């Protein structure tokens, strides 16, 4: 029997190697230059270590530093290099997991003492020593029994726990230097293959995310193929720190969260509340313009409602404990959907009533672990810009097209233009008629095509109750945020027995689509702050203009200017304090006020205003009415 196997390369060529030869052997056969540049391989699309044997014919691709998969390989390897450095510094360290993540890596450790940020420099120096030694990453396959014995001798209880749960009887381990890890790989050939890295931060992480398990110390780092890419990333991180919505929220007096009242609960201060009011007013105008009706529903509901919806079966751990009222259990709502359905069922609906587009800014409450709470981005109480579209099968495609178009117009109004769609299709386990699923997926796909959106398909990634489109937007510094969701639901209409009377006089099941455009007001506001760095566009700024008389001699004229601007619907303040004008201008700039109306003797005499923009530019002695007319003080839905 032949011991040779065929490997098909990306260009269509086929090479022959001996069965059991490694990916590196195949790379050397292709060419010595490729073998030298190789980091890993891909067999039938799956990443594999260079030293892994190939036992059957397959497609082969050699992964080099220029391949899309390269960052995952060298970042995972960098996590192991960091673990080696930690082992040298703390020989008694116990190791959790250390994966590659987007733009970086981390590793979890149980250490004899708490690390500080100063320790990161020490760890980095040790990592550089490991890199300089060019320690090979050695891959071994051992039996489960041997792996258990190995990690027991190493006193690594977390690894033992993971091994115990593995069904495979053959376990892959990697070692470099003195560090040994339970790992599938792949890794770079040796520690010298990765050099451009930076350790970023230390955080606490419960073992396996369980608050009842040990708290480990997680060190985050980042790594890139080149010094230039690393510098660009670090510069972006520095810019992100400056834009952090928690920092800006405090500096601009927009919002707060207060531990003594309750973690994850947001307090909107007057400046933040003014912006929120402006957002919600525009949101409501846009919804009325696009054929929606607005609704308000209760904050609590009896337990039968959540039993019928299935939340008490599948979502109870995220719901708060019930309160007893008149002998019945009531739950505070985690979602608005059941309430909208109850309004639908309050009377018999005809096909002539459909489609129904019902929207609500509904505040909901969901339990989140304290460790994941993060400013406005992860909270326990938030207001969803929720809506439900209820329609006939014949109407569904037009409704999906319309809601996607509406969503894009809303995002562009708020200053976001880089938008990508993600389409998730039917999973293996799903409820609902397959024909309805197919129609829904086709409607979603055609809507994306019609709008010319870049789209990535997650085949089988839909929820069990329906396919969906998620829209992700990019902010000013290139970060992607998942925001809009357009989600079919074939589950709740069945559970609540939603029907309409068709033209044939019979009862039919309507289509129902959940739809959140901004996601939640809180999270959207956090993204908005970071996108604009706190310097909101004029129409959203809490204070759009501040009138600054140079001295008391301009006081009367300053009050007149303020009055005229206020009558024009402008959010304007008067700062007539005795402080020097330079100090007051600087204060307004720090508060990111778009316009400073500076009034001196010349402005009083000529009945004009001098306008200082927050970027430092000036409009000298312009007519107030001209200045007012030329600015976009209010965003309209027209």
Q: Please confirm, yes or no, whether 468 is among the known catalytic residues.
A: yes
- Exposed, middle or buried, 188 (CB in 10 Å: 0-12/13-18/19+)? buried
How far apart (Å, rounded) are the C-alpha atoms in residues 27 and 577? Answer: 75
The verdict on whether 337 is a catalytic residue reads: yes
Catalytic residue among 80, 176, 333, 337: 337
Q: Which residues pair with 611 in a beta bridge?
A: 597, 619
**pLDDT at position 193, please?**
87
* Cα gap 127→123, rounded to integer Å: 6
Q: Do 373 and 346 contact (CB within 8 A), yes or no?
A: no
> Which two tokens mark 347?
């009377």
Distance CA 524, CA 427 (A): 29
Across the strands, what pairs with 424? 458, 468
Tokens of residue 77, six digits: 């390897």
Beta strand pairing call for 215-224 and 104-110: antiparallel
Residue 209 CA: distances (Å) to CA of 29, 213, 221: 46, 8, 20
Nearest CA among 455, 362, 473, 470 for reference residue 414: 473
pTM of the model: 0.85
Query: Catalytic one among 139, 276, 388, 515?
Result: 388
Give the β-pairing of 419-424 and 454-458: parallel
Which one is the CATH code of 261-297+334-532: 3.60.20.10, 3.30.930.10, 1.10.340.70, 3.30.565.10? Answer: 3.30.930.10
Q: Which residues contact 355 (CB under 8 A, 6 or more apart)?
A: 389, 390, 391, 392, 395, 399
Task: Indicate which residue of 366, 380, 426, 571 is catalytic.
Answer: 366
> For residues 532 and 545, what is the distance between their CA atoms, to the nearest angstrom?
18
Q: What is the DSSP string of 537-606?
A: -TTT-SS-EEEEESSGGGHHHHHHHHHHHHHTT--EEE---SS-HHHHHHHHHHTT-SEEEEE-HHHHHH
Alpha helices in 330-374 (DSSP H): 337-344
Report DSSP letters for 80-141, one per residue.
HHHHHHHHHH-TT-EE----EETTEEEEEEE-SS---HHHHHHHHHHHHHHHHTT-B-EEEE
Given the candidates 3.40.50.800, 2.40.50.140, 2.40.37.10, 3.30.750.200, the CATH classification of the domain at 545-630 is: 3.40.50.800
10-residue mean pLDDT profile of the chain (638 residues): values are 78 87 87 88 88 87 88 93 96 94 94 93 96 92 92 94 87 91 89 92 90 93 93 93 96 95 96 97 96 96 95 90 95 95 97 97 93 92 96 94 94 95 92 90 92 91 91 93 94 95 96 94 97 97 97 94 96 95 95 96 93 92 93 83
Do you find a cis peptide bond into 355, omega within 30 degrees of 0? yes
* Residue 530: per-residue pLDDT: 97
Q: Which of 94, 176, 384, 487 is catalytic?
A: 384
Is-contact 609 560, C-beta < 8 A?
Answer: no
Among the four given CATH numbers 1.10.3720.10, 3.40.50.720, 3.10.20.30, 3.30.1490.190, the one describing domain 4-64: 3.10.20.30
| Residue 459 among the catalytic residues | no
Task: Give strand ranges (E) for 279-345.
Answer: 293-294, 300-302, 323-325, 328-332
**DSSP annotation of 378:** B
**Rounded CA gap, 201 and 234, in Å?**
13
DSSP helix/strand/coil, 531 = helix
* Alpha carbon distance 415, 592 (integer Å): 18
Residue 638 pLDDT: 57
Question: Nearest to residue 222, comparing CAs of 382, 103, 54?
Answer: 103
Tokens found for residue 413: 């109004």
**Residue 39 host element (H or E):** strand 38-43
Catalytically annotated residue among 80, 287, 468, 592? 468
| Predicted local confidence at residue 2, as pLDDT | 55
CB contact at 8 A, 59 and 48: no
Query: How far is residue 288's CA from residue 281's CA, in Å, rounded to a whole number?
Result: 11
386 counts as catalytic: yes
Whether the domain at 4-64 and the domain at 261-297+334-532 fall into the same CATH topology: no
DSSP alpha helices (H): ranges in 192-302? 227-243, 245-251, 270-289
Pairing of strands 381-391, 511-520: antiparallel
Please report which helix (H) or strand (E) contains residue 25, including its range.
helix 23-30
Please identify which of the residues 119, 181, 386, 475 carries the catalytic annotation.
386
Domains of the chain, residue spans: 4-64, 70-243, 261-297+334-532, 298-332, 545-630
Distance CA 388, CA 403 (A): 11
CB neighbour burial string for 494-509, b if at least 16 within 10 angstroms, e if fewer: ebbebbbeeeeeeeeb
Are 331 and 478 in contact by the 8 Å Cβ rule? The answer is no
Instruction: Give me the catalytic one of 333, 514, 531, 592.
Output: 514
Contact 299, 332 (CB under 8 A): yes
Decide: 97 and 117 in contact? Cβ < 8 Å: no
Nearest residue to 115 via CA among 139, 146, 90: 90
How far is Cα 259 from Cα 263, in angstroms, rounded to an integer?
5
CA 437 vs CA 369, 432, 463: distances in Å: 34, 7, 11
Residues 6+ apart with CB under 8 A from 173: 139, 140, 142, 147, 150, 180, 181, 182, 183
Q: Which two tokens stand for residue 272?
A: 């933040």
Architecture field, domain 70-243: 2-Layer Sandwich (3.30)
Q: Which DSSP state fits 355? A: -
Tokens for 170?
Answer: 């053959």
- Cα gap 517→282, rounded to integer Å: 13
């Amino acid at each position: 029997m032949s011991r040779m196997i065929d490997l098909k390369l990306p260009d269509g060529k086929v090479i022959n190697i001996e069965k059991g030869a490694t990916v590196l052997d195949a790379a050397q056969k292709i060419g010595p230059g490729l073998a030298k540049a190789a980091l890993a391989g891909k067999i039938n699309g799956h990443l594999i270590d260079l030293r892994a044997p190939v036992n059957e014919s397959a497609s082969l691709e050699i992964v080099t530093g220029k391949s899309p998969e390269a960052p995952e390989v060298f970042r995972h390897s960098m996590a192991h290099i960091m673990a080696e450095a930690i082992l040298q510094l703390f020989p008694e360290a116990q190791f959790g997991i250390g994966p590659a993540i987007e733009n970086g890596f981390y590793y979890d450790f149980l250490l004899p003492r708490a690390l500080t940020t100063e320790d990161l420099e020490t760890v980095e120096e040790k990592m550089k020593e490991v890199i300089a030694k060019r320690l090979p990453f050695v891959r071994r396959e051992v039996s489960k029994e041997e792996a258990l014995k190995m990690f027991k001798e190493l006193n690594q209880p977390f690894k033992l726990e993971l091994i115990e749960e593995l069904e495979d009887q053959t376990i892959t381990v990697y070692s470099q230097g003195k560090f040994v890890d339970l790992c599938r790989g792949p890794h770079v050939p040796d520690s010298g293959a990765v050099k451009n890295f930076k350790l970023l931060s230390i955080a606490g992480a419960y073992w396996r995310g369980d608050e009842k398990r040990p708290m480990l110390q997680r060190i985050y780092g980042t790594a890139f193929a080149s010094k230039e890419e690393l510098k660009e990333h670090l510069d972006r991180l520095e810019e992100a720190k400056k834009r952090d919505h928690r920092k800006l929220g405090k500096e601009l007096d927009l919002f707060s969260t207060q531990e003594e009242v309750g973690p994850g609960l947001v307090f909107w201060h007057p400046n933040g509340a003014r912006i929120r009011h402006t957002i919600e007013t525009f949101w409501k105008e846009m919804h009325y313009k696009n054929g929606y009706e607005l609704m308000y529903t209760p904050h609590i509901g009896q337990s039968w409602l959540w039993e019928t919806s299935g939340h008490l079966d599948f979502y109870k751990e995220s719901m708060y404990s019930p309160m007893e009222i008149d002998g019945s259990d009531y739950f505070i709502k985690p979602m608005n959907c059941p309430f909208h359905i109850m309004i639908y069922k309050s009377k018999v609906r005809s096909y002539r009533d459909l489609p129904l587009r019902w929207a609500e800014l509904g505040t909901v409450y969901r339990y989140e672990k304290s460790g994941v709470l993060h400013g406005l981005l992860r909270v326990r109480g938030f207001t969803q810009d929720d809506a439900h579209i209820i329609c006939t099968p014949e109407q569904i495609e037009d409704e999906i097209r319309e809601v996607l178009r509406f969503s894009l117009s809303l995002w562009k109004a708020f200053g976001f233009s880089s938008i990508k769609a993600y389409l998730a299709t039917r999973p293996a386990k799903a409820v609902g008629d397959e024909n309805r699923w197919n129609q829904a997926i086709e409607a979603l796909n055609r809507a994306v095509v019609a709008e010319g959106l870049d789209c990535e398909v997650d085949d089988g990634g839909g929820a069990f109750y329906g396919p969906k489109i998620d829209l992700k937007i990019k902010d000013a510094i290139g970060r992607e945020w998942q925001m809009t969701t357009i989600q079919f639901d074939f589950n709740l209409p069945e559970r609540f027995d939603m029907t309409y009377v068709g033209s044939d006089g019979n009862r039919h099941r309507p289509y129902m689509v959940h739809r959140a455009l901004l996601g939640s007001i809180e999270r959207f506001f956090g993204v908005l702050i970071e996108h604009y760095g706190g310097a909101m566009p004029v129409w959203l700024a809490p204070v759009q203009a501040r009138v600054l008389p140079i001295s008391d001699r301009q006081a009367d004229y300053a009050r007149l200017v303020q009055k005229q601007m206020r009558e024009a619907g402008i959010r304007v303040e008067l700062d007539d304090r005795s402080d020097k004008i330079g100090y007051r201008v600087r204060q307004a700039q720090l508060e990111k006020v778009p316009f400073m109306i500076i009034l001196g003797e010349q402005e009083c005499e000529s009945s004009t205003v001098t306008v200082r923009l927050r970027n430092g530019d000036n409009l000298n002695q312009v007519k107030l009415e001209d200045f007012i007319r030329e600015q976009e003080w209010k965003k309209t839905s027209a």
